[in-house]
């Protein structure tokens, strides 16, 4: 179970650009690492667009935004293009990073249990330490928490 003050687990995943991206590549920058359930769904689209619309605020703080879901690279490319998202979307189809960050959880919908991504945002400082964890994120108002 990760907690604030822990070193953020490193990983390497494929981005929507096709390149391999490692967390360690961003040392020296603050990272807003957000895990979201699915491309092109209402909550996930609203969350991504909130980050997009506030990108300048994050850039002024020397921060990069990185989104991760289980969706494929192709899905990410379409999602990013459709909403003109100015940040990387990484694909974790094997759910390895989702498990490392403890966001792959049992969920319930209409009484039916299933495994899925619990919407979570990690703020990781310039040295790779987790500064803040927002669990069970509610999209509305989340952007104001930064």
Residues assigned a catalytic role:
44
Q: What is the three-class DSSP state of 61?
A: coil
Determine the Cα–Cα distance for residues 57 and 51; give it in Å rounded to an integer.
9
Which of 103, 126, 70 is closest to 1 using CA atoms? 103
Q: Alpha helix (H) ranges present in 8-103?
A: 42-53, 55-60, 73-83, 96-100
Determine the Cα–Cα distance for residues 49 and 79; give it in Å rounded to an integer.
11
Determine the Cα–Cα distance for residues 80 and 29; give it in Å rounded to an integer.
22
């Amino acid at each position: 179970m990760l907690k604030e003050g822990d070193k953020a687990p490193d990983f390497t995943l494929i981005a929507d650009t096709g390149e391999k991206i490692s967390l360690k590549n961003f040392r020296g920058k603050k990272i807003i690492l957000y895990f979201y359930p699915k491309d092109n769904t209402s909550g996930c689209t609203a969350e991504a667009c909130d980050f997009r619309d506030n990108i300048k605020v994050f850039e002024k703080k020397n921060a990069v935004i990185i989104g991760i879901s289980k969706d494929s690279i192709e899905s990410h490319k379409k999602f990013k293009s459709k909403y003109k998202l100015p940040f990387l979307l990484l694909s974790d189809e094997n759910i390895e990073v989702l498990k490392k960050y403890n966001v792959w959880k049992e969920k319930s919908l209409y009484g039916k249990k299933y495994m899925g991504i619990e919407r979570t945002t990690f703020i990781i400082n310039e040295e790779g330490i987790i500064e803040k964890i927002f669990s069970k994120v509610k999209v509305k108002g989340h952007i104001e928490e930064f």
